[in-house]
């Protein structure tokens, strides 16, 4: 990364931006708790401190960035493209701020995400993930309707809103007198981990922040190794429907390349086991993409022995039938 790119990355999202986002979200977003489990700690040989954003409004961290962004936009309707969690975050934020919203969603998105988005008052436009360009559709709607496009991750306002996850983590562990060794955060386009890493590294300069991605969609991990943005191989598949972005965002990667220790890839079976453990040990329902950071710890993708590791359980929007199948498939 050149000196100019480093300087640009430093200015994309700052701790001051994240603190301002926290002020906007105060009384609107939930401050999710910090959870732990002796059984999970024993399983990894260390200490896991878990932030369950599945308990956030709309069931994922995405509400934070959506509200922080829309609250700063000029008047007018909004449009977004999303596989489901950003869709719901934008839909609720737009409703709370009195704006019409249109969401472009893949036709194969989980039905619970589509129905929840509509229930929150947004108009849903479906597209074929394998054939259509969701960004082109979103831009077309924005131009036609005079709407503001709310990107899912590649926007400093989104990153700052998502960064309130890291700010709360830092505040909570500091209040306990704990200095964490590492953090694991799910990653698709990279907005959550960019904002969260910005806050965590500011408060704990020695912390190692790791991305967690599905096998076959580990574009951030590969990009960190190569030093440039890498795309995913066409034809890959994963149950982690929320983590299937084709490549890291341009802005998010500029931040993540500077701050992250590296990337971890986790297979679907490990994700299913983590969903089950989150339910049994934490009493939290996690969707596949929401459980992948926990899966990275439990599977040994990151060695957590004798370490204190922060884990973001990022979302819980899973179809009931799929969740029951995950539990049954991994029954003892």
Rg over alpha carbons for the chain, rounded to the nearest Å, is 18
Pairing of strands 101-106, 123-127: parallel
Confidence band of 112 (pLDDT split at 50, 70, 90): confident
Same domain, 40 and 188: yes
pTM attached to this predicted model: 0.94
Instruction: Share the mean pLDDT of the chain.
Output: 93
Give the mean model confidence (pLDDT) for residues 31-37. 98
Same domain, 123 and 264: no
Same domain, 79 and 56: no
The verdict on residue 68 lying in a domain is no
Structural domain containing residue 112: 74-149
The verdict on residue 67 lying in a domain is no
Measured distance CA(98)–CA(90) in Å, rounded: 12
Boundary of a domain, candidates 149, 184, 212: 149
Same domain, 122 and 249: no
Boundary of a domain, candidates 149, 174, 207: 149
CATH classification at residue 94: 3.40.50.1100
Boundary of a domain, candidates 100, 127, 149: 149
Measured distance CA(245)–CA(152) in Å, rounded: 10
pLDDT in tens, 271-301: 999 999 999 999 999 999 999 999 999 999 9
**pLDDT at residue 6 above 80?**
no
Confidence band of 19 (pLDDT split at 50, 70, 90): very high
pLDDT in tens, 38-72: 999 999 999 999 999 999 999 999 999 999 999 99
Same domain, 53 and 169: yes
Same domain, 203 and 262: yes
Same domain, 54 and 182: yes
The maximal CA–CA distance of the chain, rounded, in angstroms, is: 56
Query: Total domain count for the chain?
Result: 2
Please give the residue that has the higher pLDDT: either 109 or 239: 239
Measured distance CA(232)–CA(137) in Å, rounded: 21
The verdict on residue 65 lying in a domain is no
Measured distance CA(171)–CA(220) in Å, rounded: 27
Same domain, 186 and 47: yes
The verdict on residue 66 lying in a domain is no
CA–chain centroid gap for 234, Å, is: 22
Percentage, residues of the chain above pLDDT 70 = 96
The verdict on residue 309 lying in a domain is yes
Give the mean model confidence (pLDDT) for residues 74-85. 92
Same domain, 87 and 54: no
The residue assigned the tokens 């066409």 is 234
The verdict on residue 272 lying in a domain is yes
Same domain, 140 and 167: no
Same domain, 91 and 159: no
The verdict on residue 52 lying in a domain is yes
Same domain, 260 and 195: yes
CA dihedral 111, 153, 147, 143 (to 10 degrees): -100
pLDDT in tens, 217-276: 999 999 999 999 999 988 889 999 899 999 999 999 999 999 999 999 999 999 999 999
The verdict on residue 69 lying in a domain is no
Predicted pLDDT at 329? 65
**pLDDT at residue 330 above 70?**
no
Whole-Å CA distances, 266 to 26, 79, 96, 124? 34, 32, 36, 31
């Amino acid at each position: 990364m050149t000196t100019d790119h480093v300087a640009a990355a430093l200015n994309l999202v700052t701790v001051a931006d994240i603190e301002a986002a926290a002020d906007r979200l105060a009384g609107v977003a939930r401050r999710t708790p910090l959870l732990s489990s002796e059984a999970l700690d024993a399983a990894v040989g260390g200490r896991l401190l878990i932030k369950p954003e599945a308990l956030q409004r709309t069931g994922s961290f995405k509400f934070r960035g959506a509200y922080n962004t829309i609250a700063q936009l000029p008047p007018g309707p909004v449009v977004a493209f999303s596989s489901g969690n950003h869709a719901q975050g934008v839909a609720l934020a737009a409703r709370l701020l009195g704006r019409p919203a249109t969401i472009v969603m893949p036709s194969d998105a989980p039905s619970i995400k589509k129905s929840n988005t509509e229930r929150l008052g947004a108009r849903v436009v479906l597209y074929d993930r394998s054939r259509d360009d969701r960004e082109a559709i979103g831009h077309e709607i924005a131009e036609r309707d005079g709407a503001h496009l709310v990107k899912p991750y590649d926007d400093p306002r989104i990153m700052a809103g998502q960064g309130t996850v890291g700010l709360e983590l830092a505040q909570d562990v500091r209040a306990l007198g704990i200095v964490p060794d590492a953090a694991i955060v799910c990653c698709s386009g990279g907005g959550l981990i960019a904002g969260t890493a910005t806050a965590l590294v500011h408060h704990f300069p020695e912390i190692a922040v790791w991305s967690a991605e599905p096998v076959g969609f580990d574009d951030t991990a590969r990009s960190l190794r190569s030093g440039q943005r890498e795309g995913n191989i066409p034809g890959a598949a994963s149950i982690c429907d929320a983590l299937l972005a084709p490549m890291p965002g341009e802005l998010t990667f500029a931040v993540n390349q500077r701050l992250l220790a590296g990337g971890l890839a986790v297979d679907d079976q490990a994700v299913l086991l983590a969903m089950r453990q989150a339910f049994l040990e934490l009493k939290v329902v996690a969707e596949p993409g929401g459980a992948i950071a926990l899966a990275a710890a439990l599977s040994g993708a990151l060695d957590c022995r004798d370490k204190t590791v922060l884990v973001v359980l990022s979302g819980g929007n899973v179809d009931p039938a799929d969740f029951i199948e995950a539990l049954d498939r991994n029954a003892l």
